[in-house]
Structure 1
């Protein structure tokens, strides 16, 4: 074999190998398109679509630092003592999911709360968890008795307002009315009653121009007592006047501070960032006598006065200070309050 034949044969072999390699060349697959988070504006600001679904999700919450002052405030979430001040921190996060259905928006809410008195004394709890569709709500949520005036002086709500409940509420733009059945398992129990109580509450309210109102009532089945409350606010001058009154037939889970009480406040909008709210309340037949046998309200009255100051430092960050003075007829007077810093998101 001469050199010419050898070169021609080598060239042919190389051509065959090159062709085989060209036929078997690896082609990189194109990347799949990425589904970026989409804004959902159907239910207001802050919602986004959960990727791959038509469900809208909103995440919000706050971080709070607070110093409580007063008689026997304690220095522990679980072991109060004679300390007259205590610093606590809270973090809360809320998840709200919404999607359209043939019955209207289907809503699910989960609220987790984390409290810390110090590095070791901490707790985490489910603050709310409920579903809501077409006006029906079921789960763990706060009742209408949790509402109050805007300041910190009024004492016109239930001692425990978070219940496992089922309710129906009809709403329009400026009016609502509803009824709920509440499990009153961790409220006050009187006359030898034990947990696993039940109550029925109704609420209605609305707005008419500068005036807003709310009427709430509740009946405690085991204690066989009930309470009714009315509140109203109206814009007057540089602020908002708030008035409230409550009456209870006897100590029960919906109201047990007194047989009756009236409260008033005036929330002054001093500047765009500063609000000053003085308030006052008077209790008739204040306090419960013999809670385990023949429970009834006392024959003593009491009055309370206080001041709350709110200051918006920047957007989503504010400071609040509150001081309250309580003077019962048959008991020691007391002063309490707190200073709070809170960042919302």
Structure 2
């Protein structure tokens, strides 16, 4: 009985204390501890790899990355080649470049598949272009198998393992190239996939010339139709690809023609030699679609077609490029690349070929930092006229974060 009375007195005293606190003046009531509001902290998202965080209050994961690059180039091109070089007092003998990169990646798993947005923006200042240039390299949405926006062409597979920054190697994709597109990729499992896409024609135009050498490029009417079949395995990647490309004059004096390109590429991983080692090769044939096989061809007639006697004649070309990288240690690597391009132009005496050779040595003292030097050489051999040589040596310092 006494125990019950003691408990009752305790409960009454507690109730009185609470009532007293509720009746305190505002100045004193503020000292009474209050429950803290819940905080929605940013959480780590490990569903898509390192660096991703959850957008607070959602199931969307995002990652922001960056890169800063400094290039220092010295040119030894001859006068016939043109461009920077020491052959003339009016030509630049060197070019310095500073470039910043900003990457944004967001991903959400949905019942229809992955929903992803990705963007990549470049900010560049060069010696011979002192104003800051802003270039949107990528800006696309992926939803399931759908890709819409701006990005790498579905035709391109391999870009080489050298810096490939001045003389773009033939046969391979251009690492500085991007296009507006919309495409759908069907995944058949076991690493097999196929893609069908519409890509902006203007980004692959080399132009049209009349017999007098005047540009005669017409407006676009039909986008490029690009298709590929791709196989991804632990050993590497293989791909077959094809594209159509409309060639249209501006004057209407000649009918438009439908050009095309077909190609194949292969990348083989070589971890049995050293971690990160690989080799790759890509090549193709084009008729009226020169930039699919020669992304930066140099010669007397770098066009998709020529108007002769009122008829539009297409330029044909074939090219092949190969490259590879070897890690001597975890910190040191070397890469070599070579390519050959042969162009058969409609105008007599304007056929030509290109040979490109590149090699580099790269040091990675800490994670995310590269310090490398590279030599790039392009040899232009026209059917008529003098041969040309382009040469550049460069130093690169790059930090990824």
* TM-score over 0.5 (shorter chain): yes
**Most deviating of 109-118 and 50-59:** 109-118
Gaps of 5+ in 1: 1-17, 76-80
Distance 1:253 1:240, change over 3 A: closer
Inter-partner Cα distance in structure 2 for 1:230 and 1:19:
81
Alignment of 1:78-157 (within 5 A): 82-117=91-126, 121-146=131-156, 147-151=158-162, 152=164, 154-157=169-172
Task: Give the SS at the match of 1:39.
Answer: coil
**Most deviating of 234-243 and 333-342:** 234-243
| Bigger fraction of residues in strand | 1
Question: RMSD in angstroms over aligned alpha carbons?
Answer: 3.2
Higher relative contact order (CA 8 A, sep 6+): 2
Task: Give the SS at the match of 2:29.
Answer: coil
Inter-partner Cα distance in structure 1 for 2:60 and 2:358:
45
Corresponding residue number in structure 2 for 1:60: 65
Equivalent position to 2:339, from 278, 281, 289: 281
2:172 and 2:321 in contact (8 A); partners too: no
Inter-partner Cα distance in structure 2 for 1:266 and 1:209:
17
Alignment of 1:25-36 (within 5 A): 25-27=28-30, 30-36=35-41
Inter-partner Cα distance in structure 1 for 2:24 and 2:136:
63
Say whether residues 1:22 and 2:46 are aligned partners. Answer: no
1:324 and 1:335 in contact (8 A); partners too: yes
1:313 is displaced (CA, Å) by 2.1
Q: Which deviations, in whole Å up to 9, do the C-alpha atoms of 1:262-288 show, x marking residues without a partner? A: 2233422222222222222222237xx
Give me the TM-score of the superposition, normalised by structure 2: 0.70
Distance 1:20 1:87, change over 3 A: closer
1:260 is displaced (CA, Å) by 0.9
**Most deviating of 190-199 and 20-29:** 20-29
Task: Give the SS at the match of 2:44.
Answer: coil
- Total equivalences in the alignment: 317
Gaps of 5+ in 2: 1-19, 210-215, 249-257, 298-315
1:64 and 1:340 in contact (8 A); partners too: yes
1:209 is displaced (CA, Å) by 4.7
Alignment of 1:1-345 (within 5 A): 22-24=24-26, 25-27=28-30, 30-70=35-75, 71=77, 82-117=91-126, 121-146=131-156, 147-151=158-162, 152=164, 154-157=169-172, 161-171=177-187, 172=189, 174-188=191-205, 189-190=207-208, 192-196=216-220, 198-222=223-247, 224-235=258-269, 238=273, 239-256=277-294, 257=297, 259-285=317-343, 298-330=350-382, 331-345=387-401
Give me the TM-score of the superposition, normalised by structure 1: 0.80
Inter-partner Cα distance in structure 1 for 2:38 and 2:282:
58
Inter-partner Cα distance in structure 2 for 1:89 and 1:42:
34
Distance 1:193 1:179, change over 3 A: same
Inter-partner Cα distance in structure 2 for 1:20 and 1:35:
30
Q: Which deviations, in whole Å up to 9, do the C-alpha atoms of 1:22-54 show, x marking residues without a partner? A: 355433654422221101112222111111222
